[in-house]
Amino acid sequence: MRLIVMGQQAFGKVALETLLDAGRDEVVAVYCAPDKEGRPLDPLKEFAVEKGIPVFQPANFKDAAVLDEMRGLDADLMIMAYVTIFVTQEACHIPKQGAICFHPSLLPLHRGPSSINWPIIWGKTETGYSWFYPTDGLDEGDILFQRHVEIGPDETLGDIYFKKIFPVATQSVLEVCDLYRDGNPPRTPQDHAKATYESWCRKKDAGIDWSQPARSVYNLIRGCNPQPGAWTVAKGTEVQIYDSAFVEGAGEPGAVTEISDDGVCVQADGGRILIKRVRPAGGGKVPAAEWAAAAGIAVGDLLGA
């Protein structure tokens, strides 16, 4: 088959690399977002250029010239490997067999851009990924196939994405192509009555309220590690919290209960959080004990806005 690969960042690059290594299909073009001034080139673009594959970076997919250019590629299928820009249904229908899109959740659950963060933040024990037929509605199309992924009680956003979803999902582009090549690929409508939508998980969502149940605080830290980074205030200065652990203990919410080489222990409702690694404002990530010493944090200090 003649393929268009559309995507971005490491996911798009590895998906493209997987297709090229398999050698079953011809990648006739790569589409990725326009370059941003002052930022490094997208890894997908760099890899495609290195392999001599034509790269297109339109600002939108409503422009008639952009659509005509895509028609000229005579593609059989467009694989959308982690796309965050809006692609019109007209563009998706240009390849002979249309387009198929990746989304890192078990649709119809967690439509939207931060679909891995929220299940962890809410204490869910399962997520996954979907390949679906894109429409003009956000993540609303019929499902080609899905795969389930367990969320362990101590796993972070980074654990789930980089260790569990990324390695298998990037390889699954071969399964996608095989289903199309065999003819009559599966098509299961989403149950829209069960749909949820969550927007970006941003800084405003990642602030820690130490009066909340300790498990909820722990889940927030896990679900924001590494992005956007849960945060609190210590001595009037914001600090982002990354690696942590849940421990038992009672006391005043927000109080520092212990400082050791293992980290800084902070009380929440019904338990404590052992903070192991932080990023002070304007600095890099450091062990929490090192930060506490530099910032003058002592047992009994209260954290929080």
Helix (H, G, I), strand (E, B) or coil at 291: helix
What pLDDT, in 10s, does the model give residues 154-201? Answer: 999 999 999 999 999 999 999 999 999 999 899 999 999 999 999 999
**pLDDT value of position 268:** 98
CA 272 to chain centre: 28
**pLDDT value of position 39:** 86
CATH topology of domain 203-295: Methionyl-tRNA Fmet Formyltransferase; Chain A, domain 2 (3.10.25)
**pLDDT value of position 178:** 97
Look-up of token digits 């250029």: 49
What pLDDT, in 10s, does the model give residues 32-51? Answer: 999 988 888 899 999 999 99
**pLDDT value of position 305:** 66
With respect to CATH, is domain 2-194 assigned 1.10.3720.10?
no
Q: Which of 83, 148, 97, 153 is nearest to 125 (CA)?
A: 153
**pLDDT value of position 89:** 95
Q: Which of 67, 32, 37 is nearest to 48 (CA)?
A: 32
Q: What is the pTM assigned to this prediction?
A: 0.94
Return the DSSP state at 34.
P
Rounded Cα distance between 104 and 170, Å, is: 11
What pLDDT, in 10s, does the model give residues 56-67? Answer: 999 999 999 999
Q: Please name the residue ranges forming H helices in the chain.
A: 9-22, 43-50, 64-71, 89-92, 117-121, 157-158, 166-171, 173-182, 214-223, 288-295
> Which tokens sit at 167?
């390695």
